Chains A and B, each alone.
Chain A
Amino acid sequence: DIVMTQSPLSLPVTPGEPATISCRSSQTLLYSNGDNFLNWYLQKPGQSPQLLIYLGSNRASGVPDRFGGIGSGTYFTLTINRVEAEDVGVYYCMQALQTPYTFGQGTKLEIK
């Protein structure tokens, strides 16, 4: 199985400041077609996960442009340009390259 490792596990952020979450995979997620099969999800308190970023850098429908994903191969980052109160929750990366699909352990973002 591909192991996904996130850091940090906890991220206190002041509103208006940027935030960055990292995700490493135990195998490359870059496929021969040039796409990186890496997704980012946000699970807000009491809710199910929601898709933020797919294929490494594509924002899902309705996701604000303050969220951005970059990276390739085995190292990826999710950046929030200016954190807002509604961004609190747990962020997960997930590899969609091969089954079994696997998730990172999650990064809990909280407001200072």
Chain B
Amino acid sequence: QVQLQESGPGPLRPSETLSLTCFVSSDSIRGYYWSWIRQTPGKGLEWIGYIYYNGSANYNPSLKSRVTISVDTSKNQFSLKLTSLTAADTAVYYCARGSTYSDFWNNYYFDAFDFWGQGTVVTVSS
């Protein structure tokens, strides 16, 4: 079955940029939505955004001005960049696969995050 593995940075300081990559194994990155989700004790689970394998992206408006998600189909991986970090960005960051289904008329719908990475802890501190 598909496996996702996040690459994590070391500790980061306020105002720096977070860069994470998610490696997807055992399955092609094509045909799915690929998301970043983070978890904090205070805000719980927060969806950051997704990228489709063709490169189209959608971001949470609360983070949109600071987020970029990109995909590299040749390497079967996708990446997250989050700029202007503050302590509030301290969280466990997960990558996840978004599955889809089609109806009788061949319309496609996102339905769930069916596979998740193990998560990587990101700490922002001065």
Contact = CB atoms under 8 A, between A and B. Distances in A.
Given A33-B103, A96-B112, A48 B45 contact: no
Contact of A100 (B47, B99, B113): B47
14 contacts: A37-B111, A39-B112, A41-B113, A47-B118, A48-B118, A49-B45, A50-B116, A92-B44, A92-B45, A94-B113, A99-B58, A103-B45, A103-B46, A104-B44
B105 to A, nearest CB: 9
Interface residues on A, range: 20 to 34
A60 B112 contact: yes
A60 B111 CA distance: 11
For chain B, which range describes its interface: under 10, 10 to 19, 20 to 34, or 35 or more residues? 20 to 34
A48 B116 contact: yes
Given A100-B47, A102-B47, A105-B44, A48 B112 contact: no
Nearest to B1: A61
Residue among B62, B110, B112 with most chain A CB within 10 A: B112
B60 A100 contact: yes
Nearest to B104: A33
A108 to B, nearest CB: 12
Contact of A49 (B50, B58, B61, B116): B116
Interface in A89-112: 92, 94, 96, 99-106
Grouping DSSP codes into helix (H, G, I), strand (E, B) and loop, the B interface class, with mixed when no group exceeds half, is strand
A21 interface: no
A102 B117 CA distance: 19
A51 B107 CA distance: 23
Contact of A99 (B44, B60, B103): B60
A24 B116 CA distance: 24
